[in-house]
Copies of this chain bind each other. A is one copy, B any other.
Amino acid sequence: MSLSIRNQIPGTVTSVTRGEAMATVRARLTGGQEITAAITLEAVRELGLAEGRAVRTLIKSTEVALATGPVEGISIRNQLAGTVSDIATGGAMAAVKVTVGGGELTAAITKDAVEDLGLAVGSQVVALVKSTEVSLAAD
């Protein structure tokens, strides 16, 4: 099966926090970073997610924001440092590829944002992803 979801980074579950409807799952990526995913409690059950479980974290390109450095004092749990490797620009949007530890991320952001941040191939950036935007796949 092929997925349109550009960003698939393998990792291992390190903790599961269960609410009544939702759960937060933390995973350590192969590059060493930690990722938090907020998913339904039902998904945790059906995928049998528990500490030690191998997973892939799935993140749609439109859910990835970029910053020119680490951001402090922000609710966004996931921040992955990397380097811009490619930029494809359209009339309104741009697709920016970022090489991070353990893989590559694509961020679909506005053309304006690319210009305002002065992004180019080689730029150091931090990819930001809200926990509610991270899905998990268990093989």
Contacts and interface: CB of A to CB of B under 8 A. Distances in A.
Interface of A: 1-6, 17-24, 36-44, 46-47, 49, 58, 60-63, 65-71, 73-77, 88-95, 106-114, 116-118, 128, 130-133, 135-139
B128 A74 contact: yes
A20 B20 CA distance: 7
Q: How many copies does the complex hold?
A: 3
A64 to B, nearest CB: 9
Contacts of A39: 4, 60-61, 75, 130-131
A6 B68 CA distance: 14
Contacts of A41: 17, 24, 88, 95
A1 B68 contact: yes
25 contacts: A1-B139, A2-B68, A2-B116, A3-B58, A4-B49, A6-B43, A20-B90, A21-B22, A21-B94, A22-B91, A22-B95, A42-B95, A43-B61, A60-B109, A61-B113, A62-B130, A63-B130, A73-B137, A73-B138, A74-B128, A88-B92, A89-B91, A91-B91, A95-B112, A109-B131
A40 B1 contact: no
Contact of A69 (B20, B47, B73): B73
Contacts of A74: 47, 58, 65-68, 71, 117, 128, 135-138
